[in-house]
Structure 1
Amino acid sequence: MESRGLEVCRYLMFVVNLIIFACGIGLLAVGVWVYVGGESFRQLISSDPAIFSSVAIIIAVGCVLIVAGFFGCAGAIRESKCMLGTFFAIMLLLFLVEVVVVILIFVYYPRAKKLAITSIESYNTTTKAPWDAIQSTLKCCGYTNVSDWGSNIPPSCCGNTTLCNSKSPTLYNTGCEAVVRSYFWTIGGVGIGVLVFEILSMIFSCCIISGINKYDIA
């Protein structure tokens, strides 16, 4: 590899790691939202801890990606074999973990859907607050659509007006399924994107290390 090729790899490595850094922030933000900002959604499916164990892993991966992205950028700029080698090891480990996490997200989505639908039956006992919060905030009604509630449509489906039925002008006719599904697809999509950029960063790091060894740059 010529010196110019090494220079190109350095800049590509830097750009890719900036993207990885941004993806790490994205994963962290989505994961934190589900745990903190998405409290209502979390209450609806909290009976399955495995789902949120996956989210916890995503938060951890996001944090590591932020650090690794910065580490990779610094290694590319400084042309440090030690930093790049360590970066490659971190990326390889993260790659394996993220493959498992992405698979879990797609596997557990149907289970989360089932739990959300079942929780409608407990509206008058334990799930009233989370359902009201979700429907009022997202302006949706039921999981699939308003028919999920039968004839007992809650006020939160009509903007919290006292009288709420199938003929109310303020009734939200859209179900919350699309919104809930988008959270899982967003997390999974970001995860797949991160995997692609991580593969590229590992390739570039190997090229830079090879170039450093060839031209004795240290």
Structure 2
Amino acid sequence: MAQNCLKCLKYIMCAVNFLFFISGAIMLGYGVYLTGYQTHSLLKSMKFLTVANLLLVSGIIVTCVSFLGFIGALKENRCFLLTFFILLLILMLVELSVACLLLIYESKISKVLEEDLNAGLQHEKNNNSTMTHLKSDWNLVQKTFSCCGVNGSSDWGTQVPQSCCPTPADIPCLPRDSEKQEEAASSLYPIHAKGCLGALKEWFENNFLTTGIAVIALCVMEVLGMCISMTLFCHISSSGLSYKL
């Protein structure tokens, strides 16, 4: 009976880690794809913190950790299982630490974030002559959340990017003539009025419960993964199977 339970745990761990490996590979691939489209971060002080880079790092971590768990369980390798356990423990501690810091320093983080977003937006304005073809995460955020600028479209001045417009890319809502740029910022044109900082805050507030449940579910899965890996590790050790591959 005990052997059957251990085999069941082994194959469950293999299946779950295989699914995570596939998910990590998709994230990694999408991150590579986005590197050709997003070249600048929203934040000036953290230029490396782009959506593409986040997906790349997350994909690498997920694929590596899930690969260790899959091979460790399949081959009953103590070294891989122990490494998998340690990495999951580190990831869970980091996630909980970040969540606690966000809750404790929420107001300070919000203020610093607004200042950094404004600095990043000014940097984009100064370094992009054609704002309608802006190549940064601003495009992705403004299109996703139907917003414009940090606090509103006025943040861009007369250089409002195309991503601030709800119309398709092939139907420009902003006139290309430089003489009409000032007129473009008026309410006659369908530019998103909501600022991205407010849109992001609103999204997090509306999805606070869902985000919390997702974080708790992730931590529970990590704890279960650690328990299963340590159970298999102890079984392999007691059976004298050593570090076989």
Deviation (angstroms), 1:192: 6.8
2:150 is aligned with 1:143:
yes
Deviation (angstroms), 1:14: 1.7
Match of 2:168 in 1: none
With the length of structure 2 as denominator, give the TM-score of the two structures: 0.59
Amino acid at match of 1:6: L
Matches of residues 1-218 of structure 1 in structure 2 within 5 Å? 2-22=2-22, 24-25=24-25, 28=28, 37-40=37-40, 42=41, 44-46=42-44, 48-49=45-46, 52=49, 59-60=56-57, 62-100=59-97, 110=110, 111-119=112-120, 125-126=126-127, 133=134, 134=138, 138=143, 140-146=147-153, 148=155, 152-156=157-161, 157-158=164-165, 159-162=173-176, 163-177=183-197, 178=199, 194-214=218-238
Pairwise CA RMSD: 4.6
Alignment deviations for residues 73-124 of structure 1 (CA, whole Å, 9 cap, x no partner): 1121222223322322333344444545666778696233332235556776
Measure, in 1, the Cα distance between the counterparts of 2:158 and 2:84: 54
Alignment deviations for residues 138-161 of structure 1 (CA, whole Å, 9 cap, x no partner): 263222333556xx4544345332
Measure, in 1, the Cα distance between the counterparts of 2:202 and 2:115: 12
State whether residues 26 and 62 of structure 1, in contact with CA within 8 Å, keep that contact through their aligned partners in structure 2: yes
User: SS state of the match for residue 9, structure 2?
Assistant: helix
State whether residues 17 and 201 of structure 1, in contact with CA within 8 Å, keep that contact through their aligned partners in structure 2: no
Measure, in 2, the Cα distance between the counterparts of 1:147 and 1:93: 43
State whether residues 143 and 175 of structure 1, in contact with CA within 8 Å, keep that contact through their aligned partners in structure 2: yes
Measure, in 1, the Cα distance between the counterparts of 2:38 and 2:99: 20
State whether residues 16 and 200 of structure 1, in contact with CA within 8 Å, keep that contact through their aligned partners in structure 2: no
Amino acid at match of 2:115: K
Measure, in 1, the Cα distance between the counterparts of 2:32 and 2:202: 17
Any unmatched runs of 5+ in structure 2?
Answer: 166-172, 177-182
More helix, by proportion: 1
* Higher RCO, 1 vs 2 (CA within 8 Å, ≥6 residues apart): 1
Structure 1 residues 38, 115: closer, same or farther in 2, change over 3 A?
same
Deviation (angstroms), 1:19: 4.3
Match of 2:180 in 1: none
Alignment deviations for residues 38-75 of structure 1 (CA, whole Å, 9 cap, x no partner): 334x1x422x239839x978854642331221121112
Aligned length: 209
Measure, in 1, the Cα distance between the counterparts of 2:86 and 2:239: 23
Any unmatched runs of 5+ in structure 1?
Answer: none
With the length of structure 1 as denominator, give the TM-score of the two structures: 0.65
Measure, in 2, the Cα distance between the counterparts of 1:35 and 1:181: 28
